[in-house]
Amino acid sequence: MATFLLDTSVIIDALNGKRNRSRLLMDLLGQGHLLACCPINVTEVLAGMRAHEEAKTLAFLQALRYYPLIWPMARLAGELKREYSRKGVTLATTDVSIAAVALYHQLTLMTDNLKHYPMKELDLHAFPKEQPSSS
C-alpha cells in the first residue's frame, strides 16, 4: 500500500473530470492506496475555485489525507530551491514545498509536471498530459 501525494494539477483534473484522473484515483483507492494533499495544494486549488464549485471542491480536498507543512519540510524546501538555483534551475517555491512534503514523509508524488520536480530522490508517479478525457 502506498500513499500518493497529489500534485495540484492532478487534483484540478480530477475535479474537472479531465484526463481520466477520477478513474485513476478511484482505482488506486480500490487497490488500498491512500491519496493525500498538503497546504500548497489546498491553497492553489481554492485560489482558482469558482463559487459554485465550493461544496464539491471542499469535499474532495477533505477526503484526502492531509500532510501539514512543518518546520523540517520548510527547511528542506528552502534547501532544494537553493540547491537547484545554484545549478541554474529555477523552481517555484510551491513546487519545492510539495516535493519537501513528499520527501519528508516518503510519499509518492503523482504529477504530470515532471520538469517541476527534478529531484532524483523523489518517488514520482508520472504520466503524460495527453491521456484521453473521460467526457
Identify the CATH number of the domain in which residue 35 sits: 3.40.50.1010
Q: Looking at the predicted structure, is the pLDDT value of residue 29 above 90?
A: yes
Q: What is the pLDDT of residue 128?
A: 54
Give the distance from CA 88 to its chain's centroid.
24
Give the cell for residue 65.
489525507
Parent domain of 53: 3-126
Residue 135 lies in a domain: no
Is residue 8 one of the residues assigned to a domain?
A: yes
Residue 133 lies in a domain: no
64 located within any domain: yes
Residue 33 lies in a domain: yes
* Model pLDDT for residues 32-82, shown as the tens digit of each residue: 999 999 999 999 999 999 999 999 999 999 999 999 999 999 999 999 999
Q: Residues 83-120, buried b or exposed e (16+ Cβ, 10 A)? A: eeeeeeeebeebbbbbbbbbbbeebbbbbbeeebbebe
Torsion angle of alpha carbons 95, 96, 98, 102, nearest 10°?
140
31 in a domain, yes or no? Answer: yes
Whole-model pTM: value is 0.91
The proportion of the chain whose per-residue pLDDT surpasses 90, expressed as a percent, equals 91
Residue 65 located in a structural domain: yes
Structurally, the chain folds into a number of domains equal to: 1
* Angle at 109 (CA atoms; ends 106, 111), nearest 5 degrees: 170
